[in-house]
Chain A
């Protein structure tokens, strides 16, 4: 299988501090790759660098062999990469349906004049957008909440809505930032199945940041471990599980206490 995303020598410095330091890794097309590491390891920063939210200090990001380093976020989304946020960022005052409908925008082509005058193409494409949004909500089990204001949704459903909104863009690569944060084991289990389902149904690639080792080990075919902004290790789940360095990075603090 080919690589959909290649990260080469990626570095991000804030002032003198390197939050991400010369990191290389690849994400295989069609797979689910896990990005793990203790707090402050630079995982979210890597997402911000891939999606153009932060400017890269040095190194490159290639998406399908195309150099997308320092591309504006909205263009990165156009190329087919989209993401969720660790601290959920929904369109808070809009309802569930509107959140997803807004993100469907790229599936329609009608212009400004057609919007102002509600010309036939506007009507036709709007209908298609609404159907698409509704289908997505159905698939994600949010259809019965479609009129609820996003901000008032329970936490777990907010995360689910954020993923739905990301799917509305028809991404090729979906970046999930701690999708299971704050979930109980049951919900985490459900989420694992959902992520695998999404991958198969929408035919996309997933890169997921996660703290829950269960989720990572259960669903990820390939795992990249970060520590202090550097890549510590990389490999299949069972390889990572046995890796001494990884165990130390994760448990180091507690060893000291013992």
Chain B
């Protein structure tokens, strides 16, 4: 039982970081109606920003953290302006957005390899590695902080979307971009805000992944799992993205704990296939009919 609880706690921790990525991706998806496959590159930059802020600039952790997610917010915005905006204005087909995203993704990954190199780097120690005992289970300090920071970030995002005028405009645009524009919503501004929000979440996720594992140019590939989590929860649904991520995190740690760690990465794809075959709309989502 204690081991089971331990797995749940570990799963929640990793799942909450998946949720940061999946929510950022779903947010953009709900507005732009296409999958931003360059999201992984932004997360990777977040990990590097945090790393260099602490090692080169010798900034304290919190300052490095803030610098990182500010940087990724700007980066996400820059990608939108350069790679997507011209396509949006031309009403280019879906395929072009995906290809442009792929281009951005290749560029981001390889500019890092070309300049900084492909080496693995380890974050300086921030939190003590001794675990905190909660009854019979032990929780790593980093895991605990990851969980709480992710939860707070997501709560703030929900507050922003539910309570502010801008948030309402985002909701309206997600529902129907054209109608929102007719009602006086500045949709270009909405797209920018959404990319900034996605970028912030990506930066937070990047720093945490860098601290939990290491920093390397392909770390962005981990977003594949957040895409799976988003589909699992229901593509385009924010609560779905959170639920899918947390469940994926828990299932992964369970599989690693009880079966074999080799299957840990594979289980995401088993889930993906199962969802696509049996319930493509995911846990929370619904498939809407295309407007003719």
Contacts and interface: CB of A to CB of B under 8 A. Distances in A.
In the complex they form, whether A and B have CB atoms below 8 Å apart is answered with yes
Interface of A: 44, 47-48, 53-55, 85
Interface in B246-292: 289-290, 292
A175 B290 CA distance: 19
Interface residues of B, number: 3
Given A53-B289, A54-B289, A55-B289, 7 more contacts: A44-B292, A47-B292, A48-B292, A53-B290, A53-B292, A54-B292, A85-B292
Contacts of B292: 44, 47-48, 53-54, 85
Interface of B: 289-290, 292
A124 B289 CA distance: 40
Q: Is the interface of B mostly helix, strand, loop or mixed?
A: loop
A91 B165 CA distance: 40
10 contacts: A44-B292, A47-B292, A48-B292, A53-B289, A53-B290, A53-B292, A54-B289, A54-B292, A55-B289, A85-B292
Nearest to A89: B292
Contacts of A85: 292
A44 B289 CA distance: 14
A44 B290 CA distance: 13
A47 B292 CA distance: 10
A55 B292 CA distance: 13
B145 to A, nearest CB: 42
Contacts of A55: 289
B51 to A, nearest CB: 46
Contacts of A44: 292
A72 to B, nearest CB: 14
Nearest to B290: A53
B292 to A, nearest CB: 5
A111 to B, nearest CB: 28
A42 to B, nearest CB: 13
Contacts of B289: 53-55
A190 to B, nearest CB: 27
A98 to B, nearest CB: 18
Contacts of A53: 289-290, 292
- Residue of A47, A48, A55, A85 with most partner-chain B CB within 10 A: A48
